[in-house]
Amino acid sequence: MKNYQLLFLDIDGTILKPDDTIEESTKEAIAVAKSKGITVFLATGRPLHEISTIAKELNITSLIGYNGAYAIHDGKDIFKTPMNRSTVEGFVKIANANDHEFVLYTHDKNVFSNIEASLVKEFIQAFHLHKNNDFSEEFLSQILGITLINLKENEHKLYETKEPSIHLSQVNVDGLRHCYDVIRDNVNKGIAVQHILDLLKINKENAVAFGDGMNDKEMLSIVGEGFAMGNAHPDLIQYAKHQTTSVSDSGIYNGLKNLGVIS
């Protein structure tokens, strides 16, 4: 077995099953990895202030949130990269002109276009979000990430044309395929992983990652051993070195077993 030192795990569709539970095999796999000295990071599009319960349950203190805009190692901040205010303003303007809803993430709040909108309520329920506020311009300079809601086919191009250095990644959760995470070309999970590899002086060959959505493609591409879950978005598979079983069928456990981390 190689000397694996880092393990990066997406949350929704990778750790969390569709019913919002975590398989015992997943918990066991993470515990075994930690017992062998592997540092485990949760790497998610979610805001970090909304994943504390999951992190605590898995005894994980290193986190990447907002699709790579903010990272913590062993409970200490290592970087934070807010979005340009002008970019956020432009996206809010496009959303309002096209009857789209949105959520803007600060380091401690989820700022929604309209908390009372039915699709927004579905989104809040799906991700169990608690620290929610209605939109106010006072937040525009504090935004670490954006998710757009209620987009129809090809409407993501409205935003990508406005900002060529940004692309939209469809949320890979059943019932929320009308939602898109906003991914910056220079701020994403892959760049966050590279920053951590450099900081900790670890070669990419000694890093492993698991993901299921298109916001994981940069992360899976940059590590030595990238795994697409069995339930992954079909377009993600080309960016992964391996494919494992689904989140509901011991995907992380089986992937780590394949590498020899689990005997």
Same domain, 175 and 89: yes
Bridge partners of 243, per DSSP, are: 228
Domain boundaries, position 243: 6-80+187-259
- Given 161, 184, 207, the domain boundary residue is 184
- Given 144, 159, 184, the domain boundary residue is 184
Any domain includes 1: no
Over its length of 263 residues, how does the chain's per-residue pLDDT go in tens digits?
689 999 999 999 999 999 999 999 999 999 999 999 999 999 999 999 999 999 999 999 999 999 999 999 998 999 999 999 999 999 999 999 999 999 999 999 999 999 999 999 999 999 999 999 999 999 999 999 999 999 998 999 999 887 889 999 999 888 888 999 999 999 999 999 999 999 999 999 999 999 999 999 999 999 999 999 999 999 999 999 999 999 999 999 999 999 999 99
* CATH of residue 162: 3.30.1240.10
DSSP string, 63-104: EEEGGGTEEEETTEEEEE-PPPHHHHHHHHHHHHHTT-EEEE
Helix (H) or strand (E) holding 23: none
Residue 167 to residue 244: CA distance in whole angstroms: 27
Any domain includes 104: yes
pTM value is: 0.90
* CATH of residue 240: 3.40.50.1000
Residue 122 to residue 128: CA distance in whole angstroms: 10
Helix (H) or strand (E) holding 215: none
